[in-house]
């Protein structure tokens, strides 16, 4: 803690009185300056003059009003208050609808059985027929062997004429 220096000039004394009047001094220095003001009539007159000037300025000058929402913006910037947003029912309904649509769509895509690609089925059927034929060139589809989607699904025994 620093002590208040002894003011040598009238300007230094006036600055100390203004600081005392504005409440800018720490408590220990405010006690020292308060005692000096009580002991010195010039400092007492300066304090009375400063308080009168402050009172006149407050009466005659309008106090500026801050823009609306300034305090809440300051509190959010400093981190004292969080922006409280209330979730709307529309957002909740939209997220629920999206979850149901994605869930049912992915389930349909995974579990669909009858909608396979016909080209893939034909290629697999031709490959199986080719493997079962006695000669690769003698593979007539209907006469040699009947292989189709139903036979593969049921894991039935394939009978072929050779």
The larger pLDDT score, comparing residue 9 to residue 44, is at 44
**Do residues 61 and 32 touch, judged by C-beta distance below 8 A?**
no
Q: Give per-residue pLDDT as tens, 69-100.
A: 888 888 888 877 665 677 788 888 999 999 99
Question: Which residues, in sequence order, are CB contacts of 136 under 8 Å at separation 6+?
Answer: 130
Query: Phi, psi at residue 59, to the nearest 5°?
Result: -75, -40
Per-residue pLDDT at 118 exceeds 80: no
* Predicted model pTM: 0.39
Any idea which of 61-65, 147-151, 158-162 has the lowest mean pLDDT?
158-162
**Do residues 132 and 158 touch, judged by C-beta distance below 8 A?**
yes
Give the SS3 label for residue 144. helix
Q: Give per-residue pLDDT as tens, 23-39.
A: 999 999 899 999 999 99
């Amino acid at each position: 803690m620093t002590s208040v220096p002894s003011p040598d000039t009238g300007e230094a004394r006036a600055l100390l009185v203004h600081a005392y009047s504005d409440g800018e001094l720490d408590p220990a220095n405010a006690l020292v300056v308060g005692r000096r003001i009580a002991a010195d009539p010039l400092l007492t007159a300066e304090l009375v003059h400063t308080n009168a000037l402050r009172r006149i300025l407050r009466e005659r000058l309008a106090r500026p009003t801050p823009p609306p929402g300034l305090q809440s913006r300051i509190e959010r910037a400093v981190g004292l208050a969080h922006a409280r947003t209330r979730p709307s029912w529309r957002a909740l309904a939209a997220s629920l609808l999206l979850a149901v649509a994605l869930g049912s769509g992915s389930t349909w895509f995974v579990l669909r059985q009858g909608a396979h690609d016909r080209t893939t089925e034909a290629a697999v059927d031709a490959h199986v027929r080719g493997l079962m034929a006695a000669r690769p060139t003698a593979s007539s589809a209907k006469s040699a062997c009947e292989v189709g989607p139903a036979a593969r699904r049921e894991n039935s025994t394939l009978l072929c004429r050779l």
